[in-house]
């Protein structure tokens, strides 16, 4: 298998995931999700960073917490995992959040971003990315 085929497969999968997340995000915003450990808005209040969360969403364990060191601290200071696997997230200059799963869709808070990531995975295992 040549590297072009691998690249093509990755790009095709990324495009499909992005399209799926865009469709699911509309419904996810309207749905009332229960069982999370923060207020109904997912915000920690004015002037504070995002609040930590630890919940089971659609059968997947999602955890988000402030990061004080390492790579996560460099990108917004927040670490997120899905079933114990790191979901690389970054905070944009305008305060919105993106991840490697839904890189072209922004979210106000990491909780919404992580839930959209679970939706996009559709049961697949999150595979760690190599960060050099």
126 domain residue, yes or no: no
What phi, psi does 50 have (nearest 5°)? -65, 150
Does pTM top 0.85 for this prediction? no
Separation of alpha carbons 107 and 28, rounded Å: 12
Q: Which domain holds residue 57?
A: 3-121
CATH number for the domain harbouring residue 97: 3.30.1880.10
132 domain residue, yes or no: no
104 domain residue, yes or no: yes
90 domain residue, yes or no: yes
Separation of alpha carbons 99 and 45, rounded Å: 22
8 domain residue, yes or no: yes
Overall number of domains in the chain: 1
pLDDT in tens, 12-28: 666 555 555 554 444 44
Averaged pLDDT, 102-124: 95
Confidence of residue 99 (pLDDT cuts 50, 70, 90): very high
């Amino acid at each position: 298998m040549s590297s072009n085929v691998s690249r093509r497969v990755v790009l095709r999968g990324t495009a499909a995931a992005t399209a799926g997340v865009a469709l699911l995000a509309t419904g996810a915003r309207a749905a009332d999700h229960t069982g999370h450990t923060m207020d109904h808005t997912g915000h920690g209040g004015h002037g504070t960073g995002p609040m930590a969360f630890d919940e089971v969403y659609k059968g997947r364990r999602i955890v988000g917490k402030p990061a004080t060191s390492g790579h996560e601290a460099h990108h917004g200071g927040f670490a997120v995992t899905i079933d114990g696997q790191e979901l690389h997230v970054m905070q944009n200059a305008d305060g919105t959040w993106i991840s490697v799963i839904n890189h072209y869709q922004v979210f106000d808070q990491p909780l919404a971003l992580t839930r959209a990531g679970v939706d996009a995975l559709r049961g697949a295992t999150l595979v760690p990315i190599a960060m050099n």
